Structure 1
């Protein structure tokens, strides 16, 4: 196995993978895929094989890789390979893998050099690899051969770009040492997708095949034609070595010997060769892993925090502890009592910000809902006057009374007191319902033990129902006490002497309530629901209710007032909720049939919940705006005419009505004060005491402890899963910390001037523009020894070195330039001739030999269509 650096990374990544697998998740490291790009027979497959450490790719001359090979390396204890197109078969002999690649290539492309963009997917399972994706791509070619289409060059380039455009791809731009580096199509393609050079590594192959007297020292030292990440030279196995079954380990030793013995490379041998290439790639993988760790750590920490609360009740209990059930029972009953008390009494810690707790809801019942129910039954003016009139007449009988009878006052008061029973009992029912809901919410933590939860709910609910009877009896007793004695000497009672005078004052006060006082009773958002679509539709405003008026503004800053509505003659009525609306609505209207706002007889105000509606109604009551049926009906203006034939009787009715009004207000004040106290003492406080002191004993007596603490299968599984995930998350965080300290990140090299690589940025725009791509860095013209590179003009031997990209000895008599007078097509022909096998020359003895590297000028294709087009 040749990749030692890979083997060092494997344990680190596997620890992470194992930790994530234990919590049922994937690691999401998204390790980079490594794409090898280069021309035909540049040594791409050999580089890839050296990296993997196995011989498994087809070999030969010409175009061998004719379909992309997507090689997925997967860590496994056993070593084998399998193809996506034949999943059922496992290959343990890698010679068979090579044969299958060749056969599958021929099945799609044919046997006559055809190509196809359809990839071959190969998975290699091995204990010596990381979970990586390696891509072997077809070599870049210029001239179609065999069954290849005429636009073979552009098809291959498009295919390569699809794979190297991904940001997480590392690009190995492979160029053989015996060709012009400035004309490297691999570097041009890499420049297109990676203009900053952050993920491109230059690889120079076939250093051992260079002509004698030439070397690539300046290139490998990144002095000539520099790249940001520089170049790495490698020596691959020859076809003879491969056919002779020379293994990779022996080939690596031979490569090492070559660099140490070569005079041009020995000083940088430690930075050359396949091991250094592997080390560089592994460092990139390490950097990528380290860059991924902060996001992984943040994700794990957030998951751990979310689990902390859920695991709190489990993490200290061991399944094999014999006292576990007893401990759990005691702890859960105690926690239930604490939770119940917090929800009722309120707590500064762990405040629920999404909905009202049981205690807050009970408070609204006491101080908003109950007073509203009292006011609804209190003001029934027309019936009250009728009853007073009948009472006076019935007491006088056949006689004509001279004085207002106090017996009529007592009879009316007692009848009004009896009416208090309904709202008082309704208040008790509402509180009981909230208590039972609170109990159910608190027992939700006992869901791990269904029988315990069921028994706890049953026992506490039964106790609440028992207290319900006691509480209602006490409430009825209070009402009976109020009936038993009418205390006309109460300090707040107006008395008979002041009744007439008070009547006049009260009437004036009703006409102009709270005159001279500007008291803000409530502020809040409401929606005016009945504005027509032609006028803008429903709108939300900021409402301010005072003792005198209802105003609304654009927003809560109260700077832009939209309207102010006086409260005179206003009433409230309920409005049915719309079929498609989720709003709760009530309306305000004028009893004198006047428009309330613009052309509206009533304003429909909408809230998000019924609780908000009740709260606003209670606020309007404080401002003197009552429900529709609670005020006298004055439609015809003859409210009392039926019972006021006698002026004296009319005065007596008015006097008693004011007396009743005064005394009933005293009773209501007393009831509003005593109801919360009675309910708190007899029901709520007693329930809290029962939970703290007696619930545990009732549980022990109601069922066997083992049956109470019997977990449901689902809950037991959930507990085990949570505990396992909790410990796995902690372990994963520890592993991330170890990786952070055991690995080192290397900085990105500084940018270099790589403008010598002419990126074909218009490659994907159109076929015509792609054919016009320049494949060089400048036009070579003029006499021998003169080259123009970019904006600089070089002369002499240095110009020759620039043309070739290699350090070489230059023959003074050699001619390198294109004739200035030559035609453009002639230059193109010479460019083709210089790059193909036909460029071999005849030596002095008449033999044929390949050109030496320094003897080949850098011939640049013109921007116009070439002969190959």
Structure 2
């Protein structure tokens, strides 16, 4: 029966395979096994049937084995078969086994001779078998048949390599004796993955079908194309015997008689035949398992250690224990608060390197998105001058005014301040959206308790919505405070005396630091294919110009564009484009770049577009004004009456005063808005989570229902415990067996130097070497 302890070793591997399969885990152990490879109709299936002593495999022409069949043979007093996909059902009639294999194969591959790498697991119990695990693989083919795909050869090859490439897999290379051994597909693919021949066992079939006067003695004596583990010859039943339902036991007796009576094989008859092959495979698989046990034990131990920490929590786990539920609730709420604060304030652990989120995104809203919204509504020059003109005329009434009325200044300033309400409220809304997203992200750790997660999200989101209205009230109060008193004594206000010189002062101020770099980064210039196509460049924005280079080394400058008279314009995203686009154009209708009136610049995300726009604002390049108002203004001739020189001077004076005062208000609002939102909403939410959330959760409902586990969490815990116990049991079994098993060493490398002296072997050897 082979080595001592082998009765336990192979069933151990079967037990591990079934244990991990039953819980849907593979453990990535690469358990030792034997893969049967060979060409179509090489006799692989017949060899396996001879082992079992029963007809149970599909037969026919072409590719018959179309899915890997993991065949576990177990020595037992009773004789029956079981499929892993038909748990609890015992097959006593082996014709039904064949039908089930065919049905299960067709279920995945259809009836068009297609193949699938998903295996069928079959276990056969019989007193006529030795403990053995084999994998019957599809036969290698060259030409597609029927509806098979054109790459069927490569599909089968890839499937075989999935199994035989693993070091834990022994290779049973089946080759018919009535073909040229140098052309053996099985030996060729085995040599690719096992060039030293440490894992390859050769099987020669159809010895009884060789031409009269020829034999395979040199092959079986391991003289021709020698293998380290040698060759074993077998004689299978012919197609006529199979059709005639010849009993396999009778066939085995005929095989024995063939070897004893054949003059070329009688001296090695004891080392030939199916029984000897089965015994050899049993011994070699046992030895192979024994050799791989140290590595197997190491993998099991490492996986056991990785599960120890989580399993420790589950060992004495009682789902309905009130103390456990209370402790878990406190821990979950505390962790939620810590996670929320880390997301807002920033943290070094688990940093997201792909997207902005949490506090970083809110910071962008405060300092890029909100200032941009303010500037967008601020610069509508033509409409503003028209309003100032009407205000001055209406204040003077029927009289012609000699002095610039300060009431006109106050009326225009208040109207401009009121316009700040929309961008301020929009800023609050953007922060609320980000906070709600952040809460959902932080509650992901509560997935194990669905009700707790749902209630936590509801309570905190409701609180933020309440703070939203209070924050907006405070923001509107800030605007009302600005409206309540126009402080013309502010230290930054230019005053009436300096109003006329404002333009010159601004120009000087703008050019104070011409070489200051405001931003660097990659942008794509969208140009039609006729003019060269879109290209990506490295852009450098300063206070005076926009330059682009070939790459970020900034050595090869492609172009430099002065910022004078430039403005920004939104561009709709293309139908087939994934990029977000904005444009730069010259207000004096001049070409911006080459013969282009505007250049379109593309970014990967809308956030990048907003960020670049904010950078252009710092450089003094503003969005274009709303064309609707200008169009309406142009279409009303009665409104386009030219102003007299005195009125023009008054309009210019008030325009400069308004510009000065509104910039003071904007500066104040830009500073106060983030502070107001932080105090009334974000910091308040943090305090609420730390101090009041737990009380709200207790008042929301029964603690038991809040801490009720999800079905997925319970299943995961059960699977983990089963895996843990399976690993522990496997380690105990391996520990017991490895100390009692005696292994046989792998045969030494074959000495084939004598082949050079035999010219008749050289031709065949050279032919095989060329093929491989």
- Which deviates more from structure 2 when the two are superposed, residues 490-499 or residues 314-323? 314-323
CA deviation after TM superposition for structure 1 residue 662, in Å: 1.3
Match of 2:272 in 1: none
- Distance in 1 (alpha carbons) for counterparts of 2:660 and 2:484: 18
The answer to whether the aligner puts 1:31 opposite 2:33 as a matched pair is: yes
Match of 2:329 in 1: 329
Of 751, 755, 758, which residue of structure 2 is paired with 1:777? 758
Where 2:653 maps in the other structure, the secondary structure is helix
Per-residue deviation, residues 693-752 of structure 1 (Å, max 9, x unmatched): 111111111211122223344453344335544665677688889989998998866645
* Aligned residue-pair number: 636
Q: TM-score, normalised by structure 2?
A: 0.69
- Distance in 2 (alpha carbons) for counterparts of 1:377 and 1:619: 17
Kept after mapping to 1: 8 A contact 2:470/2:680:
yes
- Distance in 2 (alpha carbons) for counterparts of 1:89 and 1:720: 31
- Distance in 2 (alpha carbons) for counterparts of 1:707 and 1:663: 59
Over alpha carbons, which structure has the higher Rg?
Answer: 1
Kept after mapping to 2: 8 A contact 1:173/1:200:
no
In structure 2, do the counterparts of structure 1 residues 293 and 527 end up closer, same or farther at CA, with 3 Å as the change threshold? farther
- Distance in 2 (alpha carbons) for counterparts of 1:711 and 1:395: 73
- Distance in 1 (alpha carbons) for counterparts of 2:331 and 2:353: 26
Match of 2:155 in 1: none
- Distance in 2 (alpha carbons) for counterparts of 1:71 and 1:598: 70
The answer to whether the aligner puts 1:628 opposite 2:653 as a matched pair is: no
- Distance in 2 (alpha carbons) for counterparts of 1:627 and 1:172: 81
The answer to whether the aligner puts 1:484 opposite 2:520 as a matched pair is: no
Q: Specify every segment of 5 or more residues in structure 2 that has no aligned partner in the other structure, as ranges.
A: 39-45, 56-63, 84-88, 98-120, 140-174, 191-198, 208-213, 235-249, 257-274, 768-772
Please show how residues 118-197 of structure 1 align to structure 2 within 5 Å. Answer: 124-126=124-126, 129-132=131-134, 155=178, 161=184, 165=188, 167=190, 169-171=200-202, 185=216, 187-188=218-219, 197=227
Match of 2:118 in 1: none
- Distance in 1 (alpha carbons) for counterparts of 2:731 and 2:698: 43
Of 617, 620, 635, which residue of structure 1 is paired with 2:613? 617
Please show how residues 256-275 of structure 1 align to structure 2 within 5 Å. Answer: none
CA deviation after TM superposition for structure 1 residue 629, in Å: 0.7
Kept after mapping to 2: 8 A contact 1:3/1:275:
no
Match of 1:836 in 2: none
Kept after mapping to 1: 8 A contact 2:70/2:133:
no
Please show how residues 55-454 of structure 1 align to structure 2 within 5 Å. Answer: 72-75=71-74, 79-80=78-79, 90=92, 124-126=124-126, 129-132=131-134, 155=178, 161=184, 165=188, 167=190, 169-171=200-202, 185=216, 187-188=218-219, 197-200=227-230, 282=283, 286-287=287-288, 290=291, 317-319=317-319, 321-454=321-454
In structure 2, do the counterparts of structure 1 residues 688 and 292 end up closer, same or farther at CA, with 3 Å as the change threshold? same
- Distance in 1 (alpha carbons) for counterparts of 2:318 and 2:82: 47
- Distance in 1 (alpha carbons) for counterparts of 2:667 and 2:755: 93
Q: TM-score, normalised by structure 1?
A: 0.62
Per-residue deviation, residues 588-620 of structure 1 (Å, max 9, x unmatched): 111122222222222122222211111111111
CA deviation after TM superposition for structure 1 residue 627, in Å: 0.7
Per-residue deviation, residues 401-435 of structure 1 (Å, max 9, x unmatched): 33323222222222211111111111111111111
Match of 1:646 in 2: 644
- Distance in 2 (alpha carbons) for counterparts of 1:377 and 1:736: 77
CA deviation after TM superposition for structure 1 residue 523, in Å: 1.6
CA deviation after TM superposition for structure 1 residue 364, in Å: 1.0
Q: Specify every segment of 5 or more residues in structure 1 that has no aligned partner in the other structure, as ranges.
A: 37-44, 58-67, 98-120, 138-151, 177-182, 205-238, 246-273, 759-775, 780-788, 791-859, 864-869
- Which deviates more from structure 2 when the two are superposed, residues 740-749 or residues 565-574? 740-749
The answer to whether the aligner puts 1:684 opposite 2:714 as a matched pair is: no
- Distance in 2 (alpha carbons) for counterparts of 1:614 and 1:46: 72
CA deviation after TM superposition for structure 1 residue 481, in Å: 1.3
Per-residue deviation, residues 790-813 of structure 1 (Å, max 9, x unmatched): 9xxxxxxxxxxxxxxxxxxxxxxx
- Distance in 1 (alpha carbons) for counterparts of 2:351 and 2:319: 33
In structure 2, do the counterparts of structure 1 residues 290 and 382 end up closer, same or farther at CA, with 3 Å as the change threshold? farther
The structure carrying a bigger helix percent of its residues is 2
In structure 2, do the counterparts of structure 1 residues 3 and 19 end up closer, same or farther at CA, with 3 Å as the change threshold? same
The answer to whether the aligner puts 1:699 opposite 2:673 as a matched pair is: no
Match of 1:566 in 2: 562
Where 2:459 maps in the other structure, the secondary structure is helix
Please show how residues 400-799 of structure 1 align to structure 2 within 5 Å. Answer: 400-506=400-506, 513-514=510-511, 517-529=514-526, 531-629=527-625, 645-725=643-723, 728=726, 751-757=749-755, 777-778=758-759
In structure 2, do the counterparts of structure 1 residues 315 and 584 end up closer, same or farther at CA, with 3 Å as the change threshold? farther
- Distance in 2 (alpha carbons) for counterparts of 1:48 and 1:619: 78
CA deviation after TM superposition for structure 1 residue 447, in Å: 2.9
Kept after mapping to 2: 8 A contact 1:33/1:170:
no
- Distance in 2 (alpha carbons) for counterparts of 1:438 and 1:680: 15
